Amino acid sequence: MTETLVRIDAISRRFGEVRALEHVSLEIRQGEFFALLGPSGCGKTTLLRILAGFEHPDSGSVTLDGADLLAVPPHRRPVNLMFQSYALFPHMSVAKNIAYGLERERLPKAEIRERVDAVLTTVGLTGLARRRPNQLSGGQRQRVALARAIVKRPRLLLLDEPLSALDKKVRAEMQLELKRLQHEVGITFVVVTHDQEEAMSLADRIAVLSEGRVRQIDAPVPLYERPADLFVADFIGANNLVTGVAAADGLHVPGVGVLPCPVPADAVGAGATLVIRPERVRLAADGSSAGGLAGVVRDVTFFGGTTRVAVQVTGLDRPLLATVSGATTVAVGEQTRLAWSVGDAMLLGPG
């Protein structure tokens, strides 16, 4: 297994009555792309600022390669932070922006020139070295900010909502570019984002935070398929959540019936929530197949490659969602049936 680069142990931070972080512990491995994901106010940016040295925790420890990182002043940490705004100097050329940190370190001019040229090639900006930031597109400015961060060869690169200022198409292109760069330069990346798709597409592992606590740390696929609790299930992607009472044959929902799902023996008789992804739900015309839940189509949304259908089932307080490939023939107001395989659903407790 890849060795641990950063170990965060029981970090807590409060701002007056606001609990930003509460006993947060996690490990970041050498060379991985790690994401801190959660809604606004969950503590992810505070944790990033602690790593960068702009905040100090009330308690807990942070080590990098086994050494106390909190004892090192920000400017001496082998850590670099790429700001959300990119913070480029408007009066400097691309090359000068990238070289700025190296010049502050008073490195030899020949070494600075060599390292700037190399990183310009890495980020694909060789032909734009003499341009000013206002002559660049949003994606190009982001590449300059990245180049300026990695040219100093930090052990750890922190990215605060790095793609939020870009439009959807450029953001998708830069997600691929970030992944390529991270593998090419071999630096450990930690990205803060509230965008689930961004975290899932970029990260090797993701820590989901809520109200200052870590709810789950996992790779994207198990995080999506096996959420640890209801918060993660509801936050990561679209999910159908139905509450009821667990029984040996499934989840009993008053006024609806028994919904198929695996039920652990120790859960029988307890309140629980069934979780089923929309892409696991099958649609069938009413009466064309036995079983399943009957309902009325309330909405049909076509996304190009897929269609999401919302079906209102009597007895449920909100429609169930089904995602089907391509277009669908069902229309709003029609009767339909929903079904899924037992193994595609899971039960989560109320906590």
Rounded Cα distance between 242 and 272, Å, is: 8
Residue with tokens 């919302």: 310
3-state secondary structure of 107: coil
Lowest mean pLDDT among 169-178, 249-258, 293-302: 169-178
* Predicted confidence band of residue 324 (pLDDT cuts 50, 70, 90): very high
**pTM of structure:** 0.87
pLDDT of 233-252, one tens digit each? 999 988 999 999 999 999 99
Lowest mean pLDDT among 16-20, 194-198, 284-288: 284-288
CATH number of 4-230: 3.40.50.300
3-state secondary structure of 321: strand
CB contact at 8 A, 20 and 60: no
Rounded Cα distance between 37 and 206, Å, is: 7
287 has pLDDT over 70: no
Amino acid, res. 116 = V
- CATH 3.40.50.300 in the chain is located at 4-230
Backbone angles phi, psi at 340, to 5 degrees: -155, 160
Which residues, listed in sequence order, are joined to residue 21 by a DSSP beta bridge? 13
pLDDT of 42-52, one tens digit each? 999 999 999 99
Rounded Cα distance between 156 and 154, Å, is: 5
pLDDT computed for residue 252 by the predictor: 96
Please state the rounded mean pLDDT for residues 319-341.
93
pLDDT computed for residue 288 by the predictor: 46
CB contact at 8 A, 162 and 143: no
Lowest mean pLDDT among 105-119, 174-188, 306-320: 174-188
CB contact at 8 A, 182 and 123: no
Please state the rounded mean pLDDT for residues 156-178.
77
3-state secondary structure of 182: helix
3-state secondary structure of 291: coil
| Proportion of the chain above pLDDT 70, given as a percent | 96
Provide the mean pLDDT of the chain.
Answer: 90
Please state the rounded mean pLDDT for residues 168-178.
75
* Predicted confidence band of residue 280 (pLDDT cuts 50, 70, 90): very high
pLDDT computed for residue 73 by the predictor: 94
Ordered DSSP codes for 197-235? HHHHHH-SEEEEEETTEEEEEE-HHHHHHS-SSHHHHHH
More confident call, 329 vs 25 = 25
- CATH 2.40.50.140 in the chain is located at 238-348
CB contact at 8 A, 57 and 94: no
CB contact at 8 A, 37 and 199: yes
Rounded Cα distance between 260 and 229, Å, is: 19
Please state the rounded mean pLDDT for residues 96-109.
90
Long-range contacts of 255-263 (CB under 8 A, 24+ apart): 255/314, 255/315, 256/293, 256/313, 256/314, 256/315, 256/316, 257/293, 259/293, 259/345, 260/340, 260/341, 260/342, 260/345, 261/342, 261/345, 261/346, 261/347, 262/342, 262/343, 262/345, 262/346, 262/347, 263/347
Rounded Cα distance between 102 and 83, Å, is: 18
290 has pLDDT over 50: no
154 has pLDDT over 60: yes
345 has pLDDT over 70: yes
| Proportion of the chain above pLDDT 90, given as a percent | 65
pLDDT of 195-224, one tens digit each? 898 899 889 999 999 999 999 999 999 999
Architecture of domain 238-348: Beta Barrel (2.40)
- DSSP code for 25: E
131 has pLDDT over 70: yes
pLDDT computed for residue 84 by the predictor: 67
Please state the rounded mean pLDDT for residues 153-178.
79
Choose among 39, 50, 35: nearest CA to 182: 35
CB contact at 8 A, 250 and 268: no
